[in-house]
């Protein structure tokens, strides 16, 4: 099967046009050979079934990114990131995930529900006291998950002041020099190292203390591994959640029918609404199509045939999550933003061994956070255009003006 190489991202274009492009791509071909603006070629897989197959297939690995071997993908991931679960393959991945999951259980997350609700109510109280208008990003969307992940890790209040700076340094694509990124990462590493030492001598009921104690028979996490996990949680434990709170509120306020559906039964609808916000992403929200591939590609460890296309050993392969999440073979009326969608096997939180360990926490925060905003502020409205954040892998906003 011949495949024409294209530049990625396919745009920028308005969301409605982006959805048409994705539909055409899935119809015309199962995957595209793309050139990234940061350099390098990569196969981009578009269909939901094929994306799942890649995420389940152990022949697609990430070791080449961590072992210094040449791969046909020019982007150099930060050294810190290449030491995390995202870049590991079995058996190292299996061991690491098993130990981490002991400290990141559903039970531990569910115990946070009351705390998340308390924090959400406190933040809304502060917004009401100050009065409208407000910037949802600074007043709520960032503050909620930062408070939660800070409490969960056991980071004192004074240690959380630099969370946003540290996270943006980890995920920076532009706007920061290499020296600035290195300084920020060194500062975070040293802070967590000192905090871990304190937890070892005086353990508390928090995740960092649990990671220090986590073990399986005679196996346990090393100090460096614990710090890597904590760094990843600082970098990924609040930023994406904040982004989806912002995107979800914007999507609901921009669509009267979906807003009405939520308001008619907030507690009943919020679970499916959150899944639809995760699935539909920026396409319900007026964002341009600037890119949606998984941030970390795989590399084929041997020749693999996918949907009639030969992927050669050494080729880089990325799953195109946005296109897969709009696959008409899987999602009825895939272009529609539908907060009551019952069947929603989206891949936003990945799949298989790389399924996000923090998924239960993200869902909990999104459900409680968004439901609290609409329950407490029934007259919530948009008060202006959002300002988007550039130069960071995860995107997001710096301002979402709201009033009530």
pLDDT tops 70 at residue 100: yes
Q: So what's the pLDDT on residue 401?
A: 97
**Higher local confidence (pLDDT), 241 or 17:** 241
**Higher local confidence (pLDDT), 136 or 353:** 136
Of residues 218, 200, 182, the one with CA closest to residue 79: 182
Radius of gyration of the chain (CA): 21
- Cα(29)–Cα(2) distance, integer angstroms: 10
pLDDT more than 70, % of the chain: 81
pLDDT tops 90 at residue 180: no
Q: What is the overall mean pLDDT for the chain?
A: 83
Of residues 290, 272, 281, 225, the one with CA closest to residue 251: 281
Q: So what's the pLDDT on residue 124?
A: 98
pLDDT tops 50 at residue 291: no
- Cα(149)–Cα(1) distance, integer angstroms: 47
Measure CA of the first residue to CA of the last residue in the chain; give whole Å. 55
Q: What phi and psi, each to the nearest 5 degrees, are found at residue 205?
A: -85, 70
pLDDT tops 60 at residue 73: no
Take residue 291 and report the two structure tokens written for it. Answer: 């890119």
- What are 107-131's pLDDT values in tens digits? 878 888 999 999 999 999 999 999 9
Q: What is the DSSP string of 331-389?
A: STTTTS--TT-S-----TT--GGGS-TTHHHHHHHHHHHHHHHHHH-TT-EE-S--EE-
Q: So what's the pLDDT on residue 159?
A: 82
Q: So what's the pLDDT on residue 105?
A: 75
pLDDT tops 90 at residue 281: no
3-state secondary structure of 295: coil
Cα distances from 213 to residues 107, 218, 222, 226, in angstroms, run: 17, 12, 11, 10
Q: So what's the pLDDT on residue 286?
A: 45
pLDDT band at 75 (very low <50, low <70, confident <90, very high): low
pLDDT band at 98 (very low <50, low <70, confident <90, very high): confident
The single residue listed with the structure tokens 């989206």 is 346
Q: So what's the pLDDT on residue 240?
A: 83
pLDDT more than 90, % of the chain: 36
pLDDT tops 90 at residue 337: yes
Contacts of 42 (CB under 8 A, 6+ apart): 33, 34, 36, 72, 73, 293, 297, 315, 316, 317, 318
pLDDT tops 80 at residue 15: no
pLDDT band at 21 (very low <50, low <70, confident <90, very high): confident
Widest CA span in the chain: 62
- What are 254-277's pLDDT values in tens digits? 999 999 999 999 999 999 999 999
Q: So what's the pLDDT on residue 12?
A: 54
Q: So what's the pLDDT on residue 1?
A: 44
Architecture of domain 5-403: Orthogonal Bundle (1.10)
3-state secondary structure of 316: strand
């Amino acid at each position: 099967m011949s495949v024409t190489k294209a530049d990625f991202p396919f745009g920028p274009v308005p969301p409605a046009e982006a959805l048409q492009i994705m539909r055409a791509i899935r119809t015309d071909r199962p995957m595209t050979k793309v050139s990234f603006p940061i350099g390098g070629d990569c196969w981009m897989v578009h269909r939901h079934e094929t994306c799942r197959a890649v995420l389940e297939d152990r022949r697609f690995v990430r070791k080449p990114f961590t072992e210094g071997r040449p791969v046909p993908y020019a982007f150099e991931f930060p050294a810190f990131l290449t030491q995390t679960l995202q870049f590991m393959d079995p058996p190292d991945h299996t061991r690491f995930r098993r130990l981490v999951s002991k400290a990141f259980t559903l039970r531990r997350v569910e115990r946070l529900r009351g705390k998340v609700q308390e924090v959400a109510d406190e933040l809304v109280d502060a917004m009401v006291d100050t009065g409208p208008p407000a910037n949802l990003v600074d007043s709520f969307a960032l503050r909620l998950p930062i408070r939660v992940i800070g409490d969960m890790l056991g980071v004192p209040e004074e240690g959380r002041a630099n969370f946003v700076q540290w996270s943006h340094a980890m995920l920076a694509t532009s706007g920061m020099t290499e020296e600035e990124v290195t300084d920020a990462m060194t500062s975070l590493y040293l802070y967590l190292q000192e905090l871990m030492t304190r937890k070892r001598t005086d353990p508390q009921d928090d995740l960092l203390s649990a990671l220090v104690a986590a073990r399986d028979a005679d196996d346990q996490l090393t100090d460096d591994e614990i710090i890597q996990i904590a760094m990843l949680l600082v970098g990924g434990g609040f930023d994406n959640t904040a982004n989806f709170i912002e995107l979800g509120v914007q999507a609901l306020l921009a669509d009267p029918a979906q807003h009405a559906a939520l308001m008619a039964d907030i507690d009943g609808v919020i679970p499916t609404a959150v899944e639809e916000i995760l699935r539909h992403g920026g396409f319900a929200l007026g964002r341009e199509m600037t890119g949606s591939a998984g941030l970390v590609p795989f590399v084929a460890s041997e020749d693999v045939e996918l949907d009639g296309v030969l992927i050669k050993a050494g080729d880089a392969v990325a799953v195109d999550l946005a296109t897969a999440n709009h696959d008409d073979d899987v999602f009825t009326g895939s272009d529609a933003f539908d907060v009551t969608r019952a069947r929603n096997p989206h891949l936003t939180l990945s799949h298989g061994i790389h399924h996000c360990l923090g998924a239960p926490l993200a869902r909990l925060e999104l459900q409680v956070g968004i439901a609290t905003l609409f329950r407490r502020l029934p007259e919530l409205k948009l008060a202006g255009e959002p300002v988007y954040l550039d130069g960071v892998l995860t995107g997001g906003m710096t301002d979402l003006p709201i009033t009530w």
